[in-house]
Structure 1
């Protein structure tokens, strides 16, 4: 851990880093803009050396450890070399890094925007698709070893009879079906209940899962323990937001308000990208003297990666003083941050430290590295690592093909895509087919992509998840008619038309220049079903209106996102302010709106705010006054 921090602090001695002791709290960082749009709050330096910290105060004890932004700060100084806006990833979702599964504790990290493992066909009319993500599943069953029953059940791919009865329940309420289950004398043990809950969560049917939890407790069919309360808390947070979740925590008997309860609440803060609330919960856990775990640190890393990267170095220092060892996911996050900052040397140093600590980068981590090498124009390094991923015999390492296909496509290597696909095509797996469709699409080889899709349609029943990949290919190549024909085919074959399909159709219309039609599709989708569209569907349309300087419609999409339950984020405000900038109109009251939504401007947003400040005086206006 010390070496990892040294990677982060190669210039600290030259810069006169002073270590002092202070009892401080983890508090949200306030960004103050000056005339130049530069934040007065210190930031992380992301140079060749790594994460650089300056003017740091810290305490060696967890009980008084934290971050603040006053004079005695626990923070780091600016100088970011980022070539990418750190909030851009929120448009489509997290990077591949956050789609990857687990840390040392065996817990899946929440992935708010990822669309992996989601199919419209698996979504009921009562489910809540906020931003599809890999389930934490922590609430259901964490044993002391960190291996959840959820994982054990999901590996078996079993569905319970109770789940089927719940699925068949008419209307929105499942209480009648549950009462009948008991009247019929059917078994209702914890294993059956856990299986049903796992399947409800897998299908994103959170409303019915919550009803099941409430019914079990009200009818005294289950003696609630810690994990049952955590499960209920997780569902409330997903369906009704963090405020209602916090209210529910207060109703949990004190003897069951364990660390799992608060980590569940924190994980939902990550899902909803609420950094302020996550830090409040962190401090609450500290006050309750819960031990600092790598899981909690990884949750904060994910938030800081998206919102406030200067705090990453501070969190590393905290881990060092609390002797919390980095997990594989910790390294993945640091690697991805350095890659996004175009600091390839720093990224490679973290990989070296990871290996020195006995953690070999897995396929997902290597795929992240390849992606950053390609973005940095280091094609030779990318190719070398891809060959390392393949191993000596690709047929024996067949499971890496899914990752290789789109990466070779990103390099423009059609021959390599064809070679890898040849290994799979005799007996392809669904995931490999989807990766091949994506890869051929990136290479503008539509015929090949369609051929793989047709192969899928003959071998498996098509789902909206399968179709959405080809729809995105059509969208990227402005093939509107082909996209419409595919959606008609989906309807004729019985595929559920839901958020993934809407998202692909919206992008088809936008790419074809028909923004108003895309807006109409989105509005009809909201009116026809209780399932809300994807975050990215709104952002796609909002961006187009902003480019036109169409303030009215940009504000309209912003308001609709709030209506369906998406909490405002920096990305939404950036797009909104871009509309005012393009319209050359001041945005009066915009700072008050940011404050009301607890949004703390980053450097990019701070610069944009200055441009739309109607009360800002220039040197010329001062002379004229």
Structure 2
């Protein structure tokens, strides 16, 4: 479970924007927009806003009022950079400003970007209204594809399929992009059985691109089907397309999983050739793959290469490297690297220290984990759900039930909607049962009830705890009825067994 938490932490961290560090360091495209040196440009002004409450539209208007020329191509370039940085609100404000300018002529592609930003900032319904209100000549392939992408991202299969059918009727399926959106959605939904049909339709109307083949390889990887994956790769080569780093990453992962080191080394080399400053995230993938191969030297070499290419590592990269070092048994090096992150990063993101916290707990070093957690607090790093979950598991191993319940309650309280971890709930209740700790059992029931998760088995665990303690709970059946929980055969048996035991008032003190 703890190792899974580490993997979840790493996975979550990889979605960080790899461009964020480029803006801070001036090493990326943001600097290019600035126009060189330290001169004042519209791009620099917009990219320096940072805070969402500040208005991009006001910034553009002021720039124009100062007598500067505002060109559409420049604004489009800035919008692209803002989107890469996930600064969607400011990008949308620039798009909206452009629609109000009579001297700026917009094309369907501009509206497609506008629609995508509305979906991200204001939601799907607003994007649909925007699409419906577009002039007929602007509701073409580009804007339809943008709406389709929104449906795919929201996993709305029915709407996506209906729109896809309409696009076919209008002759808008002459490029692979819409099909790629559908493939991505089906893969994300776990509907891989629909992938062959989409690929067949795509090939009837157009030609697959590299993204298509990469998505196809993703399906092969999910099914661990190396034979098909290699056929897909050969088809890609025959189509005279250039495989990218994603292609080779997918193949390498499969080869590592199936213990084919020579093939893995070959594809990994090809992947590294295609990694560059433009696709910075590829380096984190390289770190992970070398780690999975147990290649310590390769991990260190890639890290040094990254340090030579980028002035500052971002959180996602520190997360990946620290995880790699932990996995390779280099805990001391991982600690040293964490110290470096702590002194250089101002984000305070708990996902980075969670890796070391998990490592200590996995090693059953709860004293060290406690000390490290205190250090996190002192450094103003706000714990997240994973932090509390890790501590819950750690204290559970030590049977410190008071701390277990405290951390578990904080874990649930740290998220808007808790997705019940049934395994954790079962383990906590089992430990409580073993101790016959009826106060802890009642407290856990209250925590779970407040989280909206009460089941028959949870009540049965409560009753087994009373049975272990040799005590009779009060009005259990009534409480279950109030919680809208059904009694089963085990429940009736446990109620009957505990009814002959001495009465306890503990249950009456918990609502």
Asked if these proteins are the same fold (TM beyond 0.5), I'd say yes
Between 1:403-412 and 1:301-310, the stretch displaced more is: 403-412
Q: 2:79 aligns with which of 197, 206, 209?
A: 197
The answer to whether structure 1 residue 314 and structure 2 residue 188 are counterparts is no
How far apart, in 2, do the equivalents of 1:163 and 1:249 lie? 31
- CA shift for structure 1 position 269: 1.9
- Decide whether the 8 Å contact of 2:318 with 2:352 is kept in 1: no
| Residues 240 and 544 (structure 1), Cα distance of their counterparts in 2 relative to 1, 3 Å cut | farther
- CA shift for structure 1 position 556: 7.4
| 1:164-313 aligned within 5 A | 164=45, 167=49, 171=53, 180-218=62-100, 222-307=104-189, 308-313=191-196
- Decide whether the 8 Å contact of 2:92 with 2:117 is kept in 1: yes
For the residue of structure 1 that corresponds to 2:125, the secondary structure is helix
How far apart, in 1, do the equivalents of 2:172 and 2:118 lie? 23
Between structure 1 and structure 2, the one with the greater Rg is 2
How far apart, in 2, do the equivalents of 1:286 and 1:113 lie? 38
How far apart, in 2, do the equivalents of 1:319 and 1:178 lie? 42
- CA shift for structure 1 position 347: 2.1
For the residue of structure 1 that corresponds to 2:207, the secondary structure is coil
How far apart, in 2, do the equivalents of 1:425 and 1:168 lie? 25
- Decide whether the 8 Å contact of 1:471 with 1:483 is kept in 2: no
- CA shift for structure 1 position 302: 1.0
- Decide whether the 8 Å contact of 1:294 with 1:326 is kept in 2: yes
For the residue of structure 2 that corresponds to 1:325, the secondary structure is coil
| 1:156-171 aligned within 5 A | 156=32, 158=34, 160-161=41-42, 164=45, 167=49, 171=53
Structure 2 portions without partners, runs of 5+: 36-40, 274-279, 362-368, 396-403, 430-443, 461-485, 487-511
The answer to whether structure 1 residue 452 and structure 2 residue 337 are counterparts is yes
- CA shift for structure 1 position 261: 0.4
Q: Which residue number in structure 2 is paired with residue 436 of structure 1?
A: 321
Task: Give the TM-score normalised by the residue count of structure 1.
Answer: 0.53
Q: Deviations over 1:114-136 (max 9, x none)?
A: 6142589999xxxxxxxxxxxxx
Q: 2:15 aligns with which of 96, 108, 115?
A: 115
Relative to total residues, which structure has the larger helix share, 1 or 2?
2
Between 1:248-257 and 1:353-362, the stretch displaced more is: 353-362
| Residues 390 and 301 (structure 1), Cα distance of their counterparts in 2 relative to 1, 3 Å cut | closer
Q: Which residue number in structure 1 is paired with residue 233 of structure 2?
A: 351
- Decide whether the 8 Å contact of 1:262 with 1:285 is kept in 2: yes
- CA shift for structure 1 position 226: 2.2
For the residue of structure 2 that corresponds to 1:336, the secondary structure is helix
Q: Deviations over 1:1-31 (max 9, x none)?
A: xxxxxxxxxxxxxxxxxxxxxxxxxxxxxxx
For the residue of structure 2 that corresponds to 1:167, the secondary structure is coil
Q: Deviations over 1:377-414 (max 9, x none)?
A: 445543454466568xxxxxx99865443223223344
How far apart, in 2, do the equivalents of 1:428 and 1:210 lie? 29
The answer to whether structure 1 residue 370 and structure 2 residue 244 are counterparts is no
- Decide whether the 8 Å contact of 2:389 with 2:407 is kept in 1: no
Q: Which residue number in structure 1 is paired with residue 354 of structure 2?
A: 471
Q: Deviations over 1:290-347 (max 9, x none)?
A: 133211111111111122111111112212322x222122222222211211222222
How far apart, in 2, do the equivalents of 1:387 and 1:508 lie? 36
| Residues 359 and 556 (structure 1), Cα distance of their counterparts in 2 relative to 1, 3 Å cut | farther
How far apart, in 1, do the equivalents of 2:20 and 2:131 lie? 32
Q: Which residue number in structure 1 is paired with residue 379 of structure 2?
A: 489
How far apart, in 2, do the equivalents of 1:426 and 1:171 lie? 36
| 1:584-595 aligned within 5 A | none
Higher relative contact order (CA 8 A, sep 6+): 1
Task: Give the TM-score normalised by the residue count of structure 2.
Answer: 0.63
- CA shift for structure 1 position 505: 3.9
How far apart, in 2, do the equivalents of 1:390 and 1:170 lie? 37
Between 1:409-418 and 1:152-161, the stretch displaced more is: 152-161
Please, what is the CA RMSD of the aligned residues? 4.7
| Residues 405 and 545 (structure 1), Cα distance of their counterparts in 2 relative to 1, 3 Å cut | same
- CA shift for structure 1 position 448: 0.9
Q: Which residue number in structure 2 is paired with residue 22 of structure 1?
A: none
